Amino acid sequence: MAQIMREASLDAFPHGHGLGLEMRDYPILVPDTGLRIRDDFVDLPADLTIEEGMVIDLEAPLFEPGIGSLHRERSFLVTAVGAEPLVHQDRSAPLTVG
């Protein structure tokens, strides 16, 4: 996704995090750099295991420098065979306003 966005001159950083007691909770879902993920809420290694029963939020923020940004998120329950969305979203047609 990040590659497609770069080709369209959009800056993107797809990532995710667990939903729990903090604003961003374990696990933090980013590429493993061998470094730590550290901010006001977490201080953990980047290489984390996703486990059945976790609730995770996947984010796809898009940025167009000097223009604006769009921040999309979707939450999932991790299951033994994959994940299921917490809220159904009808994606059969584009959203229209108006």
Domain of 8, CATH number, reads: 3.90.230.10
Residue 94 maps to a domain: no
Whether omega before 27 lies within 30 degrees of 0, making that bond cis, reads yes
Residue 95 maps to a domain: no
CA distances 79 to 20, 36, 65, Å, are 17, 26, 37
**Number of domains the chain contains:** 1
pLDDT tens by residue, 16-69: 888 877 666 767 777 777 778 777 877 877 667 788 998 988 888 877 778 888
Token couple for 34: 């061998």
Residue 30 maps to a domain: yes
Domain around 25: 2-85
Residue 97 maps to a domain: no
pLDDT at 82: 92
Please tell me the distance from the alpha carbon of residue 72 to that of residue 58, in angstroms, as a whole number: 8
pLDDT at 1: 62
Phi, psi dihedrals of residue 2, rounded to the nearest 5°? -60, -40
